[in-house]
Structure 1
Amino acid sequence: MPNWIKKSFVVFISILTFGLISPQDLLAWNTQKSENHELSTDMLEITTIPALNREQSAEQLIAQAREITATKLGDRILPRIETDFESEVLPKIEEIILDLVHTYPEEEIADLAISPVIGKGEGERIFHIMDLKSNDEILYFHVRKDRPPLEGYTFNFHYHTAEDGFETHHELADVYWGKDTPAKFGSEQIH
């Protein structure tokens, strides 16, 4: 099985079960089932997952967005722009996610998730928010390295929406880096 499928499966299971069931639990259960050929109900521990309200869903999406964005920027970029990033970019990402959750129908909030495909390398993609039921992407959050003449490098944080076919750049903020070339996205600090 290709490695990307395994990783996607891990992320998908974690999102669907809100981290209550890990892929290792499923593998252990599957191994146990194949060894016994039959599974008695006393061996299963059933855990009910409470339905999340709007605020809890928004908090979960925001926490995932923060983690993925920090991973995308990496240990070499984030510390240098962290103050501006946390004061200018994160509040706007949070606001957009809150607006999405509050405008989404109540019965479909549980279907909102961050896409299991996370942007790597020099690409703009940070993360996408999608509807798991319809498998449609709703919002794209991106970052781009810009270099205006004689000004140095900036990181342009923006998003796209499905409403306009993901054509328009909706600006979040430009964060100044400096005149030296920034590291690649996701780069780790060399100790």
Structure 2
Amino acid sequence: MKTWVKKSIVIMVAFLTFGLITPTHEIWEAFDQNPSNRASIGPSSGTSTALAAEHENSGDEQLQIQEEAIDYNALLVDAAREQSYIKFGTKIGPKISNEFDSIIFPKMEEAIAMTVANLDDQTAASLTISERPSGNYGEKIFNVINNETGTDLIRFHVRTEKRPQEGYYYNFHYHSVEDNFMAHNNLGDIYWEKNTPPKWLS
């Protein structure tokens, strides 16, 4: 209904009743029940409700798809980095962090990605990173573990090596379940210095 007609009716009712009765919203709602009086532009209120419900349902479906599309590899990689730096501690970490991030860690990521790529989604979802790197001069950084079976898939280690006339190096490597953890898969070396390095976790 056009606004000037509505305004005219309000004024006329107010004038005829001397202002004792004012038109309420119920009058307009009753008037709008007649389909011929509805505006022809835009969807009806029923249609907009249906569209809102449809939009809400599609939002739920998108949320469900997002929950299903979890990047298990990224979760493992984040935990792997955290455990590596826990092992390095505050004495070793700051000194080797640049080389570790640029040379060693990308190779660790690659090894983890190759392992996850060969697994189905259910098995990939059950993978986790061990949380106890070895201290002192122990080699263990972390293991990638299948929680369903309790078995290790990959074991990441770092060995402290003293080379004559050169000094100390950290040799990063991993062992895989594919060969029963026999092969020594090299990730790279980082030079420390000629003096004895501190213990891990220190």
TM-score, normalised with respect to structure 1: 0.68
Matches within 5 A, 1:85-104: 85-104=100-119
1:76 to 91, 96, 99: 91
Question: Secondary structure of the residue that 1:168 maps to in structure 2?
Answer: coil
Say if 2:154 is the partner of 1:139.
Answer: yes
Give the aligned partner of residue 141 of structure 2. Answer: 126
2-structure distance, mates of 1:186, 1:167: 26
Q: Could you tell me how far 1:118 is from its partner in structure 2?
A: 3.1
Distance 1:137 1:82 in 2: 26
Q: Deviations over 1:22-62 (max 9, x none)?
A: xxxxxxxxxxxxxxxxxxxxxxxxxx9x4453xx2111100
Partner of 1:27: none
CA displacement, residues 128-171 of structure 1 (integer Å, 9 cap, x when unaligned): 01111111111000001000111100000000001111111100
Scaled by the length of structure 2, the TM-score of the pair is: 0.64
The residue type equivalent to 1:126 in the other structure is I
Provide the rounded CA distance (Å) in 2 between the counterparts of 1:57 and 1:142.
22
Please list every run of at least 4 consecutive aligned residues from structure 1 whose deviation after the TM superposition is greater than 2 angstroms.
50-53, 115-121
SS at match of 1:62: helix
1:28 paired residue number: none
Residue of 177, 182, 196 corresponding to 1:167: 182
- What is the match of residue 60 of structure 1? 75
Tell me how far apart the structure 2 counterparts of residues 83 and 167 of structure 1 sit (CA, whole Å).
30
CA drift at 1:107 = 2.6
The 2-side partners of 1:142 and 1:185 are apart by 12
* 2:127 alignment counterpart: 112
Kindly tell me the number of residue pairs found equivalent between the two proteins. 138
Measure, in 2, the Cα distance between the counterparts of 1:90 and 1:106.
Answer: 24
CA contact (8 A) 1:52 1:110 kept: no
1-structure distance, mates of 2:93, 2:144: 22
1:151 maps onto 2:166 in alignment: yes
* 1-structure distance, mates of 2:69, 2:132: 24
Residue identity (%): 37
User: Is 1:185 aligned with 2:200?
Assistant: yes
CA distance in 1, matches of 2:164, 2:132: 33
Structure 1 gaps, min length 5: 1-47
Over alpha carbons, which structure has the higher Rg? 2
Distance 2:198 2:133 in 1: 18
Secondary structure at the aligned position of 1:122 is classed as: coil
Q: For residue 160 of structure 1, give the secondary structure of its aligned residue in structure 2.
A: strand
What is the one-letter code of the residue matched to 1:102?
Answer: A
Match of 1:176 in 2: 191
Q: CA deviation at 1:125?
A: 0.3
Q: Is the 8 A contact 1:101 1:109 kept in 2?
A: yes
